[in-house]
């Protein structure tokens, strides 16, 4: 199990796709390769953009299928962040 606290890297508003891609490539993908569960911790994050969340998780869903969502917990998300994550997750599944 790895626990990633996003606030340290992205600040209160998660919008930087370069950082999202960096976290995906250097933390999330290696963890999934080792079959580890992941906690993505959104504590202190006030908002996020659809493109940030897309850059963070969409490729994981494409590579590992929708089952990858069983390996990821989205922790301490406020209503806005939950809304954005839900949109991206639904959008990716609808686009299959």
Partner 1 sequence: MVLTMIAALGIKTNPSNIECEKLEARSKHYLERMRLFDFLHVTSGITMKKHELAGRSVPLTQIKNSTELTEFITEVTPLLHLEPKHAEPIRYIMSELIRNVLEHSMSKHGAIVSAQYYKKSNTIRIGIADTGIGIWKSINQSYNPKTDLEAIRLALTPGITGTTRQEGGTDRNAGAGLFFIKSIASVNSDFFVIYSGKAMYKLLKRKGKKIKLHVDPFEDRHSKKGDLPSWEGTVVGIDLSLDTTQEFSLLLKLLNETLNEAIKERKKARYKKPQFT
Positions touching partner 1 (CB under 8 A) are: 11, 13, 15-18, 21, 24, 46-47, 49-51, 54-55, 58-59, 62, 78-80, 82-84, 86-88, 90-92, 94-96
Write the CA distances from 72 to 6, 62, 76, 84, 89, integer angstroms: 14, 14, 13, 16, 12
Contact at 8 Å (CB) between 71 and 37? yes
Which residue number, 3 or 46, has a Cβ lying nearer to partner 1?
46
**How far is it, in rounded angstroms, from Cα 46 to Cα 42?**
8
**Least CB distance to partner 1 at residue 94 (A):** 4
**Least CB distance to partner 1 at residue 2 (A):** 20
């Amino acid at each position: 199990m790895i626990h990633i606290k996003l606030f340290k890297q992205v600040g209160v508003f998660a919008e930087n796709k370069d950082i999202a891609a960096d976290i995906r490539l250097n933390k999330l993908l290696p963890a999934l390769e080792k079959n580890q569960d992941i906690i993505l911790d959104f504590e202190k994050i006030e908002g996020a953009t659809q493109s940030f969340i897309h850059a963070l998780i969409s490729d994981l869903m494409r590579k590992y299928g929708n089952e990858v969502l069983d390996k990821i917990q989205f922790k301490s998300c406020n209503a806005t962040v939950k809304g954005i994550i839900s949109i991206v997750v639904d959008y990716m599944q609808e686009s299959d």
